[in-house]
Amino acid sequence: MLIKPLKVFGKHGQSKGKRGQLHIIETLVAIAIILALTVTLYQIELQPSEENPVEELQEKGLESLSAADNVGILRPAVYTTTDENLETLKVFLDQSLPPTVLYTLSVQPINDTGEPTLLIQKGEPPTRSDVAVATYLLYGYNNVYNPQIVSLTLWYLS
């Protein structure tokens, strides 16, 4: 004698087995939706925000001044101000900055309250534009303490 399994029906006339399968499918779909939304939210949040062009210019200027000092170009240009040293610094800045960036380079002793001395100028300063200033401090040259503030004013060609 064979015993047949007894089918148990739920509220809507479906067997409990089919209803259980539908719950599993529904749960898997809900998990997939939640995962997709979570991934999307993390991608949106992790994308870097647009940088401020002035901050970007300031960083580029500071990097250029620091690099010029590290290779031994900045200090001779600031402290001796010969045409050859200034031209070498100008070529270095022209190569290290994007071609669409114009600039002026000025120097002022730390204890001086007068106008800074303009050393190099590439382009006319703008009347209406975003301008960034990268400030770099030098404390001396050839074992002589003579602190100077080097200001590189940058703007985009408009």
Asked if 90 contacts 68 with a C-beta cutoff of 8 angstroms, the reply is: no
Q: What is 53-156's CATH topology?
A: Ribosomal protein S3 C-terminal domain (3.30.1140)
Residue 12, pLDDT score = 56
Burial call 6-21: b when 16+ CB within 10 Å, e when fewer: eeeeeeeeeeeeeeee
Per-residue pLDDT at 137: 92
Ordered by start, the domain boundaries in the chain are: 12-47, 53-156
Please give the single-letter amino acid code of residue 87. E
Query: Length of the chain in residues, anyone?
Result: 158
- pLDDT digit of tens for each residue in the chain (158 aa)? 566 665 655 555 555 566 778 888 899 999 999 999 888 877 776 555 566 778 888 999 999 999 999 999 999 988 887 889 899 999 999 999 988 889 999 998 888 777 777 888 887 777 777 888 999 999 888 888 888 899 999 988 87
Print the SS3 string covering 44-82.
HHHCCCCCCHHHHHHHHHHHHHHHHHHCCCHHHHHHHCC
According to the model, what pLDDT value does residue 49 have? 55
In degrees and rounded to multiples of 5, residue 30 shows phi and psi of -65, -40
Sorted by sequence, the CB contacts under 8 Å of residue 131 that are 6+ apart come out as 54, 125, 153, 154, 155
